[in-house]
Amino acid sequence: MTDTQAPAQPGTGDMAGLSRRSLLRAGLLTGGAAAGAGLVSRSALAGDPLITEVQDWNRYLGDSVQAAPYGKPSEFEAHVVRRDVEWLTASPESSVNFTPLHELDGIITPNGLCFERHHGGVAQINPADHRLMIHGLVDKPLVFTMEDLKRFPRENRVYFLECAANSGMEWRGAQLNGCQYTHGMIHCVVYTGVPLKYLLNEAGVKTSGKWLLAEGADASAMTRSIPMEKALDDCLVAFKMNGEALRPEQGYPVRLVVPGWEGNMWVKWLRRLEVGDQPWEQREETSKYTDLLANGKARRFTWVMDVKSVITSPSPQAPVAHGKGPLVISGVAWSGNGTVQRVDVSIDGGRNWKTARIDGPSLSKAMHRFYLDIDWDGSPLLLQSRAMDEQGFVQPTKNELRLARGDNSIYHNNGIQTWHVKADGTVENVEVA
Amino acid sequence: MTDTQAPAQPGTGDMAGLSRRSLLRAGLLTGGAAAGAGLVSRSALAGDPLITEVQDWNRYLGDSVQAAPYGKPSEFEAHVVRRDVEWLTASPESSVNFTPLHELDGIITPNGLCFERHHGGVAQINPADHRLMIHGLVDKPLVFTMEDLKRFPRENRVYFLECAANSGMEWRGAQLNGCQYTHGMIHCVVYTGVPLKYLLNEAGVKTSGKWLLAEGADASAMTRSIPMEKALDDCLVAFKMNGEALRPEQGYPVRLVVPGWEGNMWVKWLRRLEVGDQPWEQREETSKYTDLLANGKARRFTWVMDVKSVITSPSPQAPVAHGKGPLVISGVAWSGNGTVQRVDVSIDGGRNWKTARIDGPSLSKAMHRFYLDIDWDGSPLLLQSRAMDEQGFVQPTKNELRLARGDNSIYHNNGIQTWHVKADGTVENVEVA
């Protein structure tokens, strides 16, 4: 294998190296074909015992369309939910639950499965009562109702949102048992909102205004300092996600979108924007969301979420059930610096790499979906993925990160993840030297 | 106004002709600013009575993250649901409900709000029991389990799905009271699935195999004939939508995706694919889904959903609540022929046109979102949108369609829709001569 191979383009019809012979050799279809031949000889005329036996749904009327004005997943998908780690936090209000990445595909996270992280619980806000204030070093302080905000030109953008602490416990080798827990503090949706620069321009930022304080209307009154350059660049004041209103746990009725930067800055239930001439040194940017180095000093204002990826299937929660033969290796990659240019996958713990196929839209600061389609010979695998972004940054190993920053860090772990696929198809979270 | 203006590019920071002066003149922000000044003078120090008064959510702990393993919309969004038209169908199983387009933005429809159209109700299928059979003019008949399908290389694509009967009642001037009912038999999601050509190649289509019959496992055993050229082009056998499993009402566990073609062909609960040498002349392609012309002959095999658009706000269900001044006119456009190249909007019933701003990803056979940001002078408007696709097709008027096809048609109405915005902001569905 080589790491210089160009990625296959989506939609070319190339079966990514899977020959028909290989599929037959793998035993995937010969059994099916035999059964199929049996089925066909009868079912083309009179139907097949196997199928009629299980086809109650084909013999009786189904459910009414009026049963679900707002639809829900199938009862057979009841296991596909966000999950928290009860022992991780002191209270369920200041807590977190995780996106089930191992059950998802593509690049869009459905709203019902977007991870949550709160510091004071989920505020339940009536949008008619909500206000957004802009004040401080501005010509004209302003207060906006939700109706006011919806009269400005709006934009739609697909962005990932990753908590700075995503994969944080892996820094010290916790080896949590599944990508939902190791990497599930991320989601990616389409945001609809007003570019923040339009609102700041309405208020008229004074030349001395270099920083912005964003404050949430929840019980923690979450506050973060944001440099004016970012505020005037690509930030959005968003009121919709994936076409519908923001979910309560995502800041309904309005949140700040800070593309590519750590999720804690995407202030939910946004109530106040203050313009100042220096950062505010709030708790969430001093005692929290800084990176304590080995020498006792701390990295601060480490806002950008660096290039990162993880294989979502196979993974500890998504073992290989079908034995050897054709195996779809799938995962997600993202970078706060822009688009992901390439993802390489190793099945031998990083000794050899093969370029994966990135499929679907490749959008700046959005999740990317990659696949490597292989014939699994049934021997154990050490699966890794390594992403590279448009600025040339390459995802490091966990040990490279530890050498650079010591063992104290919790935030900004974008190290390469390793899954050990055993001969029986079960998968473990491991580290390779 | 002119119809030759180039569309503004998204993200340029251009406020699409809205000057700050115009916003102030419109009275949008002067009131807010006055209130804001009042707020700021106190709240920067001690908080503001108005805000503290309504800020229970700022004083008490919010909801637990464990409250919603699968999230739901805010209680304040309870009105945003699919709605049926009870008098329209004989039974709730063979019926339809509608996407609330007037409440949505962007190009992705959330899974819970995708319209439904069934002929025998919603089949509730256990994926472990489901099978997909390929037989007929093939070298090797095959039967696939869901696990088998997930071992083939897969793709992710954003496509709109429109029922051929969308806007059908408008053909004869029903003038239903809102775009949810006139245009709501459409949704647009990200599909994840296996290219159909991979499965057909596994079975080995004989040279005499020119047509495909797709059959559903629901009570209506929906069946449609599809030409082999389309089957081998861009069709998908899809098992996920917007990242998660298909919803039951969208064909869980597996449906056919036939990009750009009428929704009835996107067979849900897909159980059988038969290869033949001619179309099967099934009920759904002879007595239904054909277009009876004035001369008594019927157009058939009219598969492509032609270029179309509709303004979603303002619209009868989304009146203008804020009076004159800055007004965001928003809508969606799509074409079964590829991308939408341009959308023009008229506020005077089609006498003058202005090119709208298409915002967000522009993807082939996917929904496009457009905006026209205007200063409304408060006088009545006759709103229309007219889309043009990459093949140069232009959306016709309803009367042009009637002249060409007579008054009998129900399907394939892609005529221009007119909304009458009155001085009080209420909106009516009207037709202009």
pLDDT tens readout for residues B94-103: 889 999 999 9
A281 and A203 in a single domain? The answer is yes
B39 touches A at CB < 8 Å: yes
In a domain, A66, yes or no: no
Residue B366: name the closest of B245, B254, B242, B248 by CA: B242
Chain B: residue whose CA lies nearest to A28: B148
Q: What angle do CA A339, A347, A1 make, to 5 degrees?
A: 80
Interface contact A243-B271, CB threshold 8 A = no
The residue out of A251, A283, A300 marking a domain boundary is A300
What pLDDT, on the 0 to 100 scale, is given for residue A347?
98
Please give the average per-residue pLDDT across B335-350, as a whole number: 98
Asked which of A88-92, B24-28, B402-406 is least confident by mean pLDDT, the reply is B24-28
Asked which of B291-295, B390-394, B418-422 is least confident by mean pLDDT, the reply is B291-295
Task: Spell out which residues of chain A touch residue B72, defining contact as CB-CB under 8 Å.
Answer: 70, 112, 247
What pLDDT, on the 0 to 100 scale, is given for residue A55?
62
B11 touches A at CB < 8 Å: yes
Query: CATH number, domain at B416?
Result: 2.60.40.650
Query: CATH number, domain at A288?
Result: 3.90.420.10
The two beta strands, A325-334 and A340-346, are unpaired
Q: DSSP code of A94?
A: S
Q: How many CA atoms lie within 13 A of B194 on its CB side?
A: 22
B134 and B232 in a single domain? The answer is yes
Q: Least CB-CB distance to B218: which of A58, A135, A154?
A: A58
B255 and B391 in a single domain? The answer is no
Please give the average per-residue pLDDT across B404-414, as a whole number: 92
User: Residue A328: left (phi > 0), alpha (psi -120 to 50), or beta?
Assistant: beta
In a domain, A410, yes or no: yes
Task: Classify burial at A428, counting beta carbons within 10 Å of its beta carbon; exposed 0-12, middle 13-18, buried 19 or more.
Answer: middle
What pLDDT, on the 0 to 100 scale, is given for residue B54?
45
Please give the average per-residue pLDDT across B355-367, as a whole number: 97
Residue A69: name the closest of B113, B86, B178, B180 by CA: B113
A106 and A226 in a single domain? The answer is yes
What does the pLDDT profile of chain A (433 residues) look like in tens digits? Answer: 233 333 333 333 333 334 433 443 333 433 333 333 333 322 332 334 344 444 667 778 888 887 789 999 999 999 999 998 877 888 888 889 999 999 999 999 999 999 999 999 999 999 999 999 999 999 999 999 999 999 999 999 999 999 999 999 998 888 889 999 999 999 999 999 999 999 999 999 999 999 999 999 998 889 999 999 999 999 999 999 999 999 999 999 999 999 999 999 999 999 999 999 999 999 889 988 999 998 999 999 999 999 999 999 999 999 999 999 999 999 999 999 999 999 999 999 999 999 999 999 999 999 999 999 999 999 999 999 999 999 999 999 999 999 999 988 899 999 999 999 999 999 999 999 7
Name the H helices within B178-332: 179-182, 196-203, 228-231
A114 and A256 in a single domain? The answer is yes
A220 and A335 in a single domain? The answer is no
A325 and A352 in a single domain? The answer is yes
B123 touches A at CB < 8 Å: yes
In a domain, B27, yes or no: no
The residue out of A300, A324, A345 marking a domain boundary is A300
B59 touches A at CB < 8 Å: yes
A328 and A294 in a single domain? The answer is no
Q: What one-letter code names the amino acid at A309?
A: S
A245 and A382 in a single domain? The answer is no
- Does the model's ipTM exceed the 0.85 cut? yes
Structure-token match 């032609």, residue found: B306
Task: Spell out which residues of chain B touch residue A156, defining contact as CB-CB under 8 Å.
Answer: 105-107, 359-360, 369
In a domain, B42, yes or no: no
- Asked if residue B249 has pLDDT above 80, the reply is yes
- Specify the 3-state DSSP secondary structure of B145: coil
A159 touches B at CB < 8 Å: no
Interface contact A244-B11, CB threshold 8 A = no
In a domain, A332, yes or no: yes
State the nearest Cα–Cα gap between A429 and chain B, in angstroms. 23
State the nearest Cα–Cα gap between A405 and chain B, in angstroms. 32
* Contact present, B354 and B17 (Cβ < 8 Å): no
The residue out of B239, B272, B300 marking a domain boundary is B300
Top pLDDT among A8 and B366 is at: B366
* Contact present, A429 and A182 (Cβ < 8 Å): yes
- Asked if residue B19 has pLDDT above 90, the reply is no
Domain count, chain A: 2
What pLDDT, on the 0 to 100 scale, is given for residue A173?
83
Instruction: For residue A271, give its domain range.
Output: 83-300
B57 touches A at CB < 8 Å: yes
- Asked if residue B208 has pLDDT above 60, the reply is yes
Question: pLDDT class for B302, splitting at 50, 70, 90?
Answer: very high
Residue A160: name the closest of A304, A270, A289 by CA: A304
pLDDT above 70 covers what percent of chain B?
87
What pLDDT, on the 0 to 100 scale, is given for residue B56?
67
Residue B384: name the closest of A117, B392, B394 by CA: B394
Supply the Cα-derived Rg of chain A in whole angstroms: 24
Please give the average per-residue pLDDT across B99-119, as a whole number: 97
| A299/A254 Cα distance (integer angstroms) | 30
- Asked if residue B85 has pLDDT above 70, the reply is yes
User: Which residues, 6+ apart, have CB-to-CB distance to A182 below 8 Å?
Assistant: A167, A169, A170, A176, A310, A417, A429
What pLDDT, on the 0 to 100 scale, is given for residue B62?
87
In a domain, A392, yes or no: yes
In a domain, A26, yes or no: no
Asked which of A141-145, B25-29, B140-144, B287-291 is least confident by mean pLDDT, the reply is B25-29
Residue A183: name the closest of A41, A22, A333, A35 by CA: A333
What pLDDT, on the 0 to 100 scale, is given for residue A5?
30
B225 and B324 in a single domain? The answer is no
A196 and A138 in a single domain? The answer is yes
pLDDT in tens, B166-187: 999 998 888 889 999 999 999 9
What pLDDT, on the 0 to 100 scale, is given for residue B5?
30
Task: Classify burial at A90, counting beta carbons within 10 Å of its beta carbon; exposed 0-12, middle 13-18, buried 19 or more.
Answer: exposed
In a domain, B53, yes or no: no
A312 and A178 in a single domain? The answer is no
Task: Tell me the CA distances in angstroms from A32 to B127, B256, B381, one per residue in order.
Answer: 16, 20, 62
Please state the φ and ψ torsions of residue B168, each to the nearest 5 degrees.
Answer: -60, -40
